[in-house]
Chain A
Amino acid sequence: MIDPLEHSFVDKDRARQSFVLEDTGFDEVPRRFRRFYRRWCGADDMLAANEALCPVCKVVIRSVKELRAGDLVYCMPCMSRLMLVEEQGKLIAKVIY
């Protein structure tokens, strides 16, 4: 049996999952961008593989593809450019100025 902790966070050779985004009612950006963001529901809010939490404004950023370390995303509600990084087995977004 392989210890799951010995696995890397993401199998980088595996094709990325794709996601169809629906509008979640987030209304703080123009309509054409709204499906790419949703409200964060607090510490119990489990992020999907295509989501990242903006550390600046605490809005959930969404992508049409699974997110991986090194990806760049934008948070339109607070105008931030972010890079996904892996820290302690978790994928988190960091601001790039």
Chain B
Amino acid sequence: MRDWIDPHQLNEDDFKSTVQSFEFWFEAVEGYLHGRPFGVSPLTKEIALSDRRRDGLITTLCNYCVGEAAALEASSGMIRFAPDRLAQVFLATQAVDEARHLEVFLNRLSQLGVPNVDVEIESRANRSLLKFKDRLLEFVDAQDWEAAVFAQNVILECLESTVFRHHAATADPVTAEILAGVISDERRHFGFGENDLGRRLQAAPHVHARLAKIKRDLDTLVLDTFSEVMGELDIAPADRPDLAGDYLAAVARLGFRP
């Protein structure tokens, strides 16, 4: 008896109920997190970091913590007004992912010798990212599903995914492995957001204008945050990843112009 199932033979309803299930999430994360406490294999060794590189990494991780805390609070808050049970279950898995991300980044800060991570995050957090968090939580408090999904699962997740991927390519081995696990989680989060919004925009095109305005308001905050994080990672402007290439491609697929 074969031990595989052809996913392309599933009908659309079965596909959606499979990939948005807790069971799917559990088996997926088991694949890349099992045996990796705090996201890192015990076989992965630390390397010595220069003071400058360590300091830049601490600032970057503080900002990652702000982003993950925002996503944790938002995704857990959105469960209450999610449009259906599948979305509720998916958001529950996302909330768990975000809590894990926050935990592994906090743990990494402790490993780097940060004595009081809350004080450090408070002093180093990017102001634009904090404003973005406030806006996102306003959408959640207002139970505005479209705006919350757009801000969190499309904009924030796209920003994080782009930054994490490029940071992982140049990071020390421990940080790179932590980021690899986080990136694998992010695929589900922004995929959920793009697909949910894509379906909604087809069914209710008038939502598009409202989200376009939200995008214009948030773009500056996103791009400011991106620019500052790239500077902290000591990546020269010419070598910086193309956020526009990823972020704008995602929003363009949803019909938003740059």
Q: Which residues of A contact B (CB under 8 A)?
A: 21, 27-36, 55-57, 59, 63-64, 72-81, 95, 97
Contact = CB atoms under 8 A, between A and B. Distances in A.
Contacts of A63: 8
Given A76-B19, A77-B191, A28 B28 contact: yes
A97 B188 contact: no
A63 to B, nearest CB: 6
A79 B190 CA distance: 9
Given A57-B191, A97-B199, 18 more contacts: A28-B184, A31-B3, A31-B27, A33-B4, A36-B8, A56-B190, A56-B250, A74-B10, A74-B15, A76-B24, A78-B187, A78-B190, A79-B16, A79-B192, A79-B195, A80-B194, A95-B198, A97-B201
Nearest to B254: A97
Contact of A57 (B7, B16, B32, B187): B187
Interface of B: 3-8, 10, 12, 15-16, 18-20, 24, 27-28, 31-32, 184, 187-188, 190-192, 194-195, 198-199, 201-202, 249-250, 253
B70 to A, nearest CB: 21
21 contacts: A28-B32, A29-B24, A29-B27, A30-B31, A31-B31, A32-B4, A33-B4, A33-B5, A34-B4, A55-B249, A57-B190, A75-B191, A76-B19, A77-B191, A78-B194, A79-B16, A79-B19, A80-B191, A95-B194, A95-B198, A97-B195
B27 A30 contact: yes
Nearest to B26: A30
Given A33-B4, A97-B202, A80 B31 contact: no
Interface centre among A33, A36, A95 (most CB of B within 10 A): A33
A56 B184 contact: no
B189 to A, nearest CB: 9
A93 B12 CA distance: 17
Given A74-B10, A74-B15, A79-B19, A27 B32 contact: yes
B6 A79 contact: no
B198 to A, nearest CB: 3
Contacts of B8: 36, 63, 72-74
